Structure 1
């Protein structure tokens, strides 16, 4: 009989979670680590895959793209989920250790900027957003009708989303920005902080929208006169109109490919694609290569 084991380390919020789907020989078990953006989707895919493969065994944990990639380098994972590509330094590290890695792009994600629902703002342009994130605009009265100091909710530097936003806005984050461990923690902060602004994977928004009406997703404009687009608008994403959209990666050890491939094939199946869509992500032309 298939069993699901969930181990959690908690404070007020879940800080780290490891999911074990264990059904077979541990010599064939898979360890997947990395992106917090992808972890809920990965767990759901694994859970569904166990219904088709009685010998499937996998342990999944989040923590950030950098943690997943480091785990791959150190032989502590077979798959690293990542919301960013490998850096030049990381590629060099893999080459130095003579570790061959396959790269799979399996979905398209969008990063949403969220505020409390009561904040009187619907859209924001990139210049204004950058000034907020780097600490040049510090009070909402500078751009809205309310007088509230701005609280920034972001991710730790090991997060691929942190690196993605930093690169896209061409900024260094304000040193007052709160560094949160994951998307869920950012959302919890915004729900109770009428002066907060944060960024999370759009896939999290699709699950939170029905139960968390206190969170508002901002539409993004490239400049003050350009159209505003939403990260949860499929048309905008499919036509590459939303500024903060990106591919999601899985880096897989070449030595682990044989035991990992059936799971990757499941992700690429019609059922896998449907699960990806249900989590608020988008299907794109998939690719696979080796470094």
Structure 2
């Protein structure tokens, strides 16, 4: 991941020569704030943060990583008013802020894939959503699902997708972090881990060797839905055309009621922030443009 960040920082330095051109398209850079982030997106947000700090050393932001349920509790308690998470606030949640005359800003920044991972020695390379639903309902199966946290966004997503209210006691395990899922999937070849794809594309340095021994399963959607014709891998192309079944939108939720303290959020929305997302394996909300200079060839 360090080499990836070095490349991005280098791109930023080169881009500085075009600063006047980019300033108009970049969101406005303002004050400093605390931001709470869904733990399942830690690698990509850490990449964004490292480049942001290299780009704007005079600015800083405090990032706190929590599972989705804890994140929402903190956000709704007014402890921190900017969040990065994988769902919009519900009508009831929004009303809590509207009673205080606070207008919510919901900004999509990327499309993420929930990856199903297993050890490379596992002969399985595919899975259907019907199989996942069967496991989530506690039906007997040789396959086990391992989640990052019982209160995580990945658990909530699959529960909603499969119509399950409570996780079954058999066939489902939940740890405390995505890092623990990677370690468990590596050491238990028959297990299927459930994590955000950015943990596979840009893992922390200490997990790189483990990730090298893991693979992602291709997924087939429920009958009648896009991606039901065959098995699809969680890559940017399949996210873009809508055939990978386990996809979700990543949002910045701004509950401040004003425009101050959004410098890091503005950076992620800008050209460089979206390029970092593009290189991370997620699909950016705004595909960065490329400048192509065509020079006329003078023939004798």
For the residue of structure 1 that corresponds to 2:169, the secondary structure is coil
1:213 aligned residue? 212
Output one character per residue of 1:96-119: Cα deviation in whole Å (capped at 9) or x when no partner.
454432111111101011122222
For the residue of structure 1 that corresponds to 2:243, the secondary structure is coil
Q: Bigger relative contact order, structure 1 or 2, given CA contacts below 8 A and separation 6+?
A: 2
For the residue of structure 2 that corresponds to 1:230, the secondary structure is coil
For the residue of structure 1 that corresponds to 2:79, the secondary structure is coil
More helix by share: 2
**1:83–1:247: 8 Å Cα contact kept in structure 2?**
yes
Paired residues for 1:82-161 under 5 Å: 82-139=85-142, 150-161=143-154
2:157 aligned residue? 164
Cα deviation, residue 285, structure 1? 4.5
2:17 aligned residue? none
**2:85–2:251: 8 Å Cα contact kept in structure 1?**
yes
d(CA) in 2 for partners of 1:49 and 1:34?
16
RMSD across aligned positions (CA) = 2.4
Cα deviation, residue 60, structure 1? 0.8
Determine which of 44, 51, 65 is the counterpart of 1:41. 44
1:199 aligned residue? 194
**Which consecutive unaligned segments of at least 5 residues does structure 1 have?**
1-27, 140-149, 287-291
Output one character per residue of 1:225-281: Cα deviation in whole Å (capped at 9) or x when no partner.
7211011x2221110111111110111123453221x32332122221121122221
Q: 1:244 and 2:246 equivalent?
A: yes
**Which consecutive unaligned segments of at least 5 residues does structure 2 have?**
1-30, 288-300
Cα deviation, residue 154, structure 1? 1.4
More strand by share: 1
Evaluate the alpha carbon distance shift between residue 251 and residue 55 of structure 1 in structure 2; reply closer, same or farther with a 3 A threshold: same
For the residue of structure 1 that corresponds to 2:284, the secondary structure is coil
d(CA) in 1 for partners of 2:56 and 2:237?
35
1:18 aligned residue? none
Cα deviation, residue 57, structure 1? 2.1
Aligned residue pairs, count? 247
d(CA) in 2 for partners of 1:67 and 1:256?
24
d(CA) in 2 for partners of 1:256 and 1:43?
25
For the residue of structure 1 that corresponds to 2:141, the secondary structure is coil
Q: Look at both structures and tell me which one has the larger radius of gyration over its CA atoms.
A: 2
Question: Under a length normalisation based on structure 2, what TM-score does the superposition of the two structures give?
Answer: 0.74
Q: 1:174 and 2:168 equivalent?
A: yes
Cα deviation, residue 131, structure 1? 0.8
Question: Under a length normalisation based on structure 1, what TM-score does the superposition of the two structures give?
Answer: 0.76
> Deviating runs (4+, > 6 A) in structure 1?
none
1:75 aligned residue? 78
1:234 aligned residue? 236
